[in-house]
Structure 1
Amino acid sequence: MVDAIKELLVKIIKSRLTVLFLVMVILAAVLIQHLFSLQVVNGKEYQNNFTLQIEKTRTISGTRGDIYDRNGKLLASNELSYSVTVEDNGTYNTTYEKNQSLNQEFDTLIDMIESNGDEIVKDFPIVMDGNGNYKFTVEGSSLQRFRADVYGRKKTSDLKFNKDLDYDEAKASAQQIVDYLCARNKYDVRLEDTQKDYEKYQESESQTSTEAVYYDKTRRFEIMTLRYALAQNAYQKYVATPIATDVSNETVAMVKENADQLQGAEILEDTKRVYYEPEYYSHIIGYTGKVSEEEYETLHAEDESYETTDIVGRSGIEKAMESQLKGTKGKETVYVDNLGKVQKIKDSTDSAPGNDVYLSIDADLQKAVYNLLEQQLAGILYSKIRDVKSTTVKASSDVIVPIYDVYKALISNSVIDSSLFEKADDSSVQKQVYDTFQSKKKQVIPQIETQLKNSDTPYEDLSDDMQSYVKYIVSWLQETKVFDADKVDSSDTVYQNWRNESISIREYLEHAISEKWIDITAFNINDKYADSEEVYNALVSYISEELSADAEFDKLVYESLIMGDSISGRQLCVILYEQGVLDPEKDSDYDSVKSGSMSAYSFLRKKIKNLDITPAQLALNPCTGSCVITNPKTGELLACVSYPGYDNNKLANVMDSDYYNKLYTDGSHPLYNNATQQTTAPGSTYKMVTAAAALTEGIITPSTEIQTKGQFDKIHPSPKCWIYPSNHGSINISEAIRDSCNYFFYDLGYRLSLSGDTYNEKKGVDILSQYAKDFGLGEKTGLEIDEAKASVSDEYPVTTAIGQSNNNFTTVQLARYVSAVANSGTVYNMTLLSKVTDSDGKVLETYSPTVKNTMDNVAASSWDAIHYGMKMVADTHSQFDDLTVQVAGKTGTAQQANTPNHALFVGYAPYDDPEIAIATRIACGYTSSNTADFAAKVIQYYFNPEDKDELLSGTAANVDASSNSVND
């Protein structure tokens, strides 16, 4: 027995299996020992090593420099803020998995952000209106660049007809782009009603473990915009994409608390650009924003530190002084964990702030002039409103504003947001109005279809409502490029008949299709539409479908209801309170207008009078204006005002596309700088140019008198003086300036054109053109911000002599001109800048106007005659009577078809020792007495600041509505 056991043991020991077993035991013991060491003894150290294994370098932006006025008043600076960012640093097995993960994460983040009253970034070049329609917020080259980015084309010229999508990428609509980006082969953001297709897609991808997520239309759009922003940085791993900026502490806490579930999401400490009292200075300062591709290419070529995510100056001084304002970047090397969260900072290099920029303008003067201008515009508008439905007045100086135009403006210029009506409470007036609208629209669309398909009624014979609908349709087709207006042959007979309103819309559009002016691929045409009739029917169906969801077309329907009294003025007034435009708790008029004891007419006039509703909001003429003030002794620019302004805080940092789109479609054009970009004829403010030319060329002397007539009959057709059929008698040059006698200046233009006894238009034009240029007119002034290139007249010297023909100047050019008149011939190159300092206040560079030229050829006696004539102009205007300084000036009106006259004034004060020169223009301001009245208030404010409380009353100026004579 013992021997048998020994023999068995020997066999076991000698067995290969035993050896293998022992080896396995030893290996297992070693493995267990290593596992114990890794997980227990050194577990914490190895865990730290694992989580810190990803190293990356982050750029730290330098703080942007501040902007001040000439007196050190802060206009733009930076404030601490927090941003929610996401980095595309996840690892995914399939595209489907990536889309599901990112879409769900963005859905969660949007919920967090919006639950605390914060908003996601809205800088996508498409917005969705209240009716769920998509619209571009950019146009031209910017729009084409966006399309190229969407479709992955390096250059805009690479955009092509996409066979898979069945449309031309270069003409892609906003809807088509949204659908493309939301498609399953892009970001896969689906709507609820596509669940079946979605499930099929899941099966085809063999994805059964991930639950699909569905979104409503608004959330779908939000997620898609964030996915697009993230994709713009896809080629740069670990580049943070902001999805919400300047968020609240609640959002910060919520994101941090859920950080372990949010791949790549992080809260970053940041700075935001802040503008103080922005509407007064927005056109000068501009705003910052994320660098565009074109801007990046230009800036990066000059400075390689620029990155595609940088915030740069996009307009105004912010753009012009970008190199000074931008800070110097720093860097830091950090370790992040597998979720992209920073665990440790390895090393860092500090950033440095940018330089500070001081402007030449006086901020207090700028603000006061802006408010005075708004009061003047409100006063003119108030004086012109009448309790009538429409007007047939043709004379521009006698145009009135029917109260029904005010009612319509509340809707058309979005003072009232009609897209909110549908969601209003059932008991609200908004809901009542919406129900009325819905009923009307159900009738209108079929009526339009009938008009398009079956009617041969010429446009001129249509009802007013149908004319507005048809006009809108043609305009809309052209704006969306379905109708290519560039292909239209202006000599085409059918086109001419359409212009003459003698044919129907059906005939015009059918002809447009036959001439290939209309792109039939834009409205889902396919092989079944074989002939022209079927193509036209497809176009009609497309128009009907698009109009049904078009918010701008809806406004026309609302206007029709207003004009038909189906929607009352009282209802609109109550809605102003329901939507918070006016505060019912602070306004005693609420109960009165709601009950009907105060008429809508009286109510709205009162609100305009008190500036509770501003000219800018209504966008009725007049609603815009400009004023530029300089120091004629030094050429310094003291104020450069454009009304209306806008809130550049909403465009800075990350642009609010909704707000930008509202500005872009606003009828008062707040983005447009009226001081530097609007050009009109100068009218009689030009007459000092003609006077200087005539006196210097020896055509007349200061004492020469001309016997004037009412009509200048030396040329044909024979222009008339404003006083016709009367005349100004025998007067000299100073008296002609005082009386603004057109006949006198017609004669000067004629005499300057004489070669012997021969009338030579070119000679006269050349002389007047040269003197205009000597005064700095027709050339840019040198300002650092965008400025329109104006034009000096090159035809008709007789009418050029009174500032008509094709003379067109900006207000800032007129300011430089009148400054040269005030100082007797020194023309300055202008600047908006005063100095640049570093962050410690050390002056690095100073700026001042430079002399462009001096008009030494004009004799002192000639200047005296011109100055005295301008003094007499001011003496004839009672607005200047009570001022503590004597004023010299010149009024002017510029005529434009189908609008009230533009009103202008240029002048300076004091007369004997000018300290300021002023140029102002009120577009559609009716009469120059309105600008003279405004200029008088500005001069009073400047020389008597103690009167500011009286002047800046916050109510509309008192304007004499009967003062309509054009006597300049």
Structure 2
Amino acid sequence: MFDEFKDKIIGIITSRLTVFTLLFVLLGGILIYRCFELQIVQGQQYLDEFVLEIEKTRDIPSTRGNIYDRNGNVMAYNELAYSVKIEDVFESGRFKNANLNETVYRLIQMIEKNGDKCITDFRIYLDEDGEFAYSVEDAALLRFLADVYGHPRVGELKDEQRTATADEVMEYLSSTSRFAIGEYENPDDRESPFIAGKGYSKEDWLKMVTIRYAMNLTSFRKYIGTTVATNVSEKTVAVIMENSMDLPGVSVVEDTVRRYVDSEYFAHILGYTGKISSEELADLNAQMEEQGIGSDIYSLNDVVGKSGIESYLETTLQGEKGYEKVYVDVMGKVISVEERKEAKAGQNVYLTIDMELTKAVYHILEQKLAGLVSKMVVNTKEYKAESSADIRIPIYDVYFTLFNNAVIDMKHMADGNAGGTEKEVYEAHLNYKQSVYERLAYELTEGMTPYNQLPEEYQVYQSNIVSLLRRNGVIMAESVDPDDATQVAWATDEVISLSEYLKYCISQNWIDVSKLELDDKYSDSSEVFDKIGEYIITMIEKNTEFQKRFYKYMLLNDIISGRQVCQILCEQNMVNIPEEERTGLESGTLSAFQFMKNRIDNLDITPAQLALDPCNASAVITDVNSGDVLALVSYPGYDNNRMANSVDAEYYAKLNADKSNPQYNYATQYAAAPGSTFKIVSATAGLMEGAITLNTQVNCTGTFGEGPLAPKCWRVWGHGNETLTTAIRDSCNYYFYNVGYQLSMDNGSYNETKGLDTLRRYADLYGLTDKSGIEIAEAAPNVSTEDPMRSAIGQGSNSFTTVALARYISTVANSGTCYNLTLLDKITDSEGALLEEFEPDVRNTIDLPEEYWRAMHSGMRQVVENKSYFSDLAVNVAGKTGTAEERKTRPNHALFVCYAPYEQPEISLTTRIPYGYSSDYAAQAARDIIKYYYGLAEEEDLITGTADTPDGGVSNEM
């Protein structure tokens, strides 16, 4: 019995199952012990070691180089500041978006409660109607949309993505599939529809999307913070630090912000900085790689030059980043800093620009514009001119433009704190608007008056309505057949009513019914028409431009008066006026007309604010012996401090709505016919091609050739016999028509192409066929391709910028050396050591007999000698006027090119006033600029801060 039991025991012990069981128990015990050792005894040690294995390198931004003028005056510099940043430290999960959005929203409120502003570096902004709009267009817009929808290439965009509106992009980014910015229709039911943006104002919604989008761009590097606000106050810093425990991932860091001195004068030259875009990132990194500097030098958090010199010399000004090696946990949170290399400051740039000269030129141009506007204002409601020279500015246009160009704050008129007159006018506006709405509704449903039989006011309203319907996509422009008989009857013949037109659009399926929020997608045409009527009223109620227009007709119909407009300016503190004027306005002893004239004369209201012709001007001064640009002025300017670092969205919207177009560089981007200033090119061509000689006499009879289309001289009765020099002096069109004609003769036959090609060849010698060489954005020139005779006097399709003409006249002044113009003087390192000095760059030279130059210079000198307003100048000047007509309904362009001193030229000056009536007015501005440059008058006598009324009447001289 015992042996049997013993055998069983031995069998069990020696069985493979027992061996495996014992081995399993042993290994399990070892595993349990090891786990206890790892997790309990040495858990913290191993956790620390694991965390420290995650090493990351992050950039330390460099300090951007300064920009100075030619005399060492600082134009752009950096200022120490605090920035608020946020890192994505939130754990992934169902509630991540909600928690992150709550933190971002609280942060926005804290920042803005203390008067600071959050970043608005986004391609969407709120326009003056409070609607979402794109801030870019064309290729830049498509690149933005590709980034939004996650496509590496624009070509991968789907049709609906490519045509997405700003509203649709906002809704997409706010959807639950992206950032979940909004609320569920039923907050307690997550299965109910999610409404994008719900719970936020439009302003806050946009800020939320902007910040979340920026965070998303660096989501693959969580430890890289996203800037929420720059240059915040110490009060904001303190609030954020106090609430740091409730603001996960939020930090305040020392930073720098870009500052511009006297920004209004130099914004067009310097440009501004801002956060890098995806396209800029790709371009700059490609440049770095091509130069052998390295790859991925720039990253999505960098601040770069967006325009002007800041953009052109981006890699020079940027400097070299430093770096620090940090250890982060699995959530990307920084644990410690292990290694650090300091950044290297960017290089300093010295420009050829003279700051004080530039500011003086700007003020002189503004004073001349104000004087010209004041001279042309007449005390009438409307003014019908027979020619462009006769155009005047009705005072009622001045009253209206105060609303139209947002000088008067229309929102304040509806505020509880509005003044008495503001309230009166606002109440009148509400009543008038209602009457217009009723008339529009009546015309749609009952009146159905043909367009050409409507009062002009309602023609304007209905035209605007159709334009808005097309812009909003209700009328699908791509579906409309322009040759359709009914379309022609509306758009061209104007013989049908708006009601008939809209009904026809419905019948032809030209209406996108999805825009109308119909209850039934299968609604009949009458229901669609009714919805269009409702849509129109809602649409125009929200459209600021449409609402402004009511004030024009309220003024013309005497619903409100010019005196009330003047009183609103006072109530809104838009002007500072003497007490006697205020009293006179209120009592009626001072007329509204005189009150406004005084405001214009005192520059209380500037030409830019009025945005009436003329409201723009430009001037370029060059060193004729080097191509250095000493001054480049575009009026009006803008404050690039509010565009730099982070765009001020409110200011950006204001600039976009400003009808004087302050962001546009009128010195480098505005191109127009050069008028008679082009005659030196034609003279050169005529002499060199043998079409004329210095002694050729041409009898100007006023009309060149026969027939109603024959070109005429500006002096309709003619100049009589003219030689080249006297023809330049008198700006005789007839003489230069003959030059254009003779250049076109080919073996006795008139060959237009030959004449145009010849003129182009000589225009090229003066640098007029390509850009001037300056280092900022410039429009390409256009040498005329039609009518050699008119082209020879600077008309045809000739079109050049002010800066292009500056290079041209510099070449004339120095007798044939055509320099590429430049804004760059030298580059130094941050310690001031010279790194590069820019030398004159000769494009080409013109080999012309000396007697030809003398004849042309003499003619230009006589031009100036014939101007009485130049008679008191101690420096001799030679110049050429150029009055160019663009259209009969607006004044002529005014242009004057000159150089000085006549005997040994040092500088050239080109002055242009678009729609400035007469070249004499541009010439008078040039006279005062020369006085300033050569110190021929006291500064306080030239720059008075008041309008400078020009001498003489409007001349027809071209």
Q: TM-score, normalised by structure 1?
A: 0.88
1:873 maps onto 2:857 in alignment: no
Distance 1:768 1:325, change over 3 A: same
Aligned partner of 2:338: which letter? K
What secondary structure does 1:198 align onto?
coil
1:447 maps onto 2:439 in alignment: yes
Distance 1:751 1:427, change over 3 A: closer
Displacement after TM superposition at 1:872 (Å)? 0.8
1:223 maps onto 2:208 in alignment: yes
Match of 2:107 in 1: 109
Match of 2:224 in 1: 239
Displacement after TM superposition at 1:948 (Å)? 1.8
Match of 1:795 in 2: 786
Where does 1:253-272 land on structure 2 (aligned, <5 Å)?
Answer: 253-272=238-257
- Counterparts of 2:648 and 2:98, CA distance in 1: 27
**Which range moved further: 881-890 or 834-843?**
834-843
Displacement after TM superposition at 1:55 (Å)? 6.1
**Which range moved further: 808-817 or 705-714?**
705-714
Displacement after TM superposition at 1:594 (Å)? 4.7
Unaligned runs of 5+ in 1: 1-26, 162-167, 206-211
- Counterparts of 2:259 and 2:914, CA distance in 1: 31
Distance 1:540 1:126, change over 3 A: farther
What secondary structure does 1:199 align onto?
coil
Kindly indicate whether the alpha-carbon contact (under 8 Å) linking 2:63 and 2:345 is maintained by their aligned counterparts in 1: yes
Aligned partner of 1:226: which letter? I
1:576 maps onto 2:565 in alignment: no
1:948 maps onto 2:933 in alignment: no
Match of 1:546 in 2: 539
Where does 1:371-450 land on structure 2 (aligned, <5 Å)?
Answer: 371-425=363-417, 428-450=420-442
Displacement after TM superposition at 1:495 (Å)? 4.1
Where does 1:381-780 land on structure 2 (aligned, <5 Å)?
Answer: 381-425=373-417, 428-483=420-475, 485=477, 490-497=482-489, 498-512=491-505, 519-524=512-517, 528-529=521-522, 532-583=525-576, 589-594=581-586, 596-713=588-705, 717-724=709-716, 726-780=717-771
- Counterparts of 2:314 and 2:158, CA distance in 1: 36
**Which range moved further: 451-460 or 118-127?**
451-460
Kindly indicate whether the alpha-carbon contact (under 8 Å) linking 1:87 and 1:240 is maintained by their aligned counterparts in 2: yes
CA deviations on 1:567-594 (whole Å, 9 max, x unpaired) are: 333333333344443357x876445435
Kindly indicate whether the alpha-carbon contact (under 8 Å) linking 1:130 and 1:420 is maintained by their aligned counterparts in 2: no
Match of 2:258 in 1: 273
Displacement after TM superposition at 1:453 (Å)? 4.7
What secondary structure does 1:475 align onto?
helix
What secondary structure does 1:201 align onto?
coil
CA deviations on 1:210-260 (whole Å, 9 max, x unpaired) are: xx9944454344334333333333333122111111111100111111111
Displacement after TM superposition at 1:429 (Å)? 3.5
1:823 maps onto 2:814 in alignment: yes
Aligned partner of 1:607: which letter? R
What secondary structure does 1:197 align onto?
coil
Displacement after TM superposition at 1:516 (Å)? 5.9
Match of 2:123 in 1: 125
- Counterparts of 1:509 and 1:772, CA distance in 2: 52
CA deviations on 1:637-671 (whole Å, 9 max, x unpaired) are: 21111111111111111112222222122111111
Displacement after TM superposition at 1:47 (Å)? 12
Displacement after TM superposition at 1:52 (Å)? 9.0
Match of 1:3 in 2: none
Distance 1:445 1:154, change over 3 A: farther
1:786 maps onto 2:777 in alignment: yes
Aligned partner of 1:829: which letter? N
Match of 2:98 in 1: 100
Displacement after TM superposition at 1:514 (Å)? 5.6
- Counterparts of 1:689 and 1:855, CA distance in 2: 12
- Counterparts of 1:438 and 1:152, CA distance in 2: 46
Pairwise CA RMSD: 3.1
- Counterparts of 1:587 and 1:169, CA distance in 2: 59
- Counterparts of 1:594 and 1:448, CA distance in 2: 37
Kindly indicate whether the alpha-carbon contact (under 8 Å) linking 1:125 and 1:657 is maintained by their aligned counterparts in 2: no
CA deviations on 1:66-90 (whole Å, 9 max, x unpaired) are: 1111121111111111111111111
Kindly indicate whether the alpha-carbon contact (under 8 Å) linking 1:696 and 1:862 is maintained by their aligned counterparts in 2: no
Kindly indicate whether the alpha-carbon contact (under 8 Å) linking 2:83 and 2:253 is maintained by their aligned counterparts in 1: yes
Where does 1:268-307 land on structure 2 (aligned, <5 Å)?
Answer: 268-303=253-288, 304-307=296-299
Distance 1:570 1:341, change over 3 A: farther
Aligned partner of 2:69: which letter? D
CA deviations on 1:595-653 (whole Å, 9 max, x unpaired) are: 55433322221111111211111111101111111122222221111111111111111
Distance 1:664 1:841, change over 3 A: same
Match of 2:21 in 1: none
Match of 1:965 in 2: 955
Kindly indicate whether the alpha-carbon contact (under 8 Å) linking 2:222 and 2:332 is maintained by their aligned counterparts in 1: no
Displacement after TM superposition at 1:176 (Å)? 3.3
Displacement after TM superposition at 1:967 (Å)? 1.6
What secondary structure does 1:704 align onto?
coil
Match of 2:89 in 1: 89
Displacement after TM superposition at 1:156 (Å)? 3.9
- Counterparts of 1:540 and 1:152, CA distance in 2: 39
What secondary structure does 2:147 align onto?
helix
Match of 2:17 in 1: none
CA deviations on 1:791-850 (whole Å, 9 max, x unpaired) are: 111221111111111111111111111111111111112222111111122222222331
Aligned partner of 1:62: which letter? S
Displacement after TM superposition at 1:342 (Å)? 6.1
Kindly indicate whether the alpha-carbon contact (under 8 Å) linking 2:672 and 2:799 is maintained by their aligned counterparts in 1: yes
1:65 maps onto 2:65 in alignment: yes
Kindly indicate whether the alpha-carbon contact (under 8 Å) linking 2:321 and 2:343 is maintained by their aligned counterparts in 1: yes
Displacement after TM superposition at 1:98 (Å)? 2.1
- Counterparts of 2:202 and 2:803, CA distance in 1: 47
Match of 2:15 in 1: none
Distance 1:780 1:89, change over 3 A: same
Aligned partner of 1:965: which letter? S
CA deviations on 1:887-915 (whole Å, 9 max, x unpaired) are: 11111111111211001111111111111
Kindly indicate whether the alpha-carbon contact (under 8 Å) linking 2:326 and 2:339 is maintained by their aligned counterparts in 1: yes
Among 137, 140, 144, the alignment partner of 1:139 is 137
Among 322, 330, 339, the alignment partner of 1:347 is 339
Q: TM-score, normalised by structure 2?
A: 0.89
Match of 2:190 in 1: 201
- Counterparts of 2:816 and 2:707, CA distance in 1: 32
Match of 2:874 in 1: 884
Kindly indicate whether the alpha-carbon contact (under 8 Å) linking 1:712 and 1:720 is maintained by their aligned counterparts in 2: yes
Unaligned runs of 5+ in 2: 1-31, 289-295
- Counterparts of 1:189 and 1:371, CA distance in 2: 48
Kindly indicate whether the alpha-carbon contact (under 8 Å) linking 2:672 and 2:801 is maintained by their aligned counterparts in 1: yes
Kindly indicate whether the alpha-carbon contact (under 8 Å) linking 1:120 and 1:245 is maintained by their aligned counterparts in 2: yes
Identity %: 44
Kindly indicate whether the alpha-carbon contact (under 8 Å) linking 2:312 and 2:776 is maintained by their aligned counterparts in 1: yes
Aligned partner of 2:585: which letter? V
What secondary structure does 1:392 align onto?
coil
- Counterparts of 2:937 and 2:332, CA distance in 1: 61
Match of 2:305 in 1: 313
Kindly indicate whether the alpha-carbon contact (under 8 Å) linking 1:682 and 1:807 is maintained by their aligned counterparts in 2: yes
Displacement after TM superposition at 1:535 (Å)? 4.1
Aligned partner of 1:574: which letter? Q
- Counterparts of 1:645 and 1:562, CA distance in 2: 30
- Counterparts of 1:570 and 1:824, CA distance in 2: 57
CA deviations on 1:463-493 (whole Å, 9 max, x unpaired) are: 2321222222233234445445566555444
Aligned partner of 1:561: which letter? M
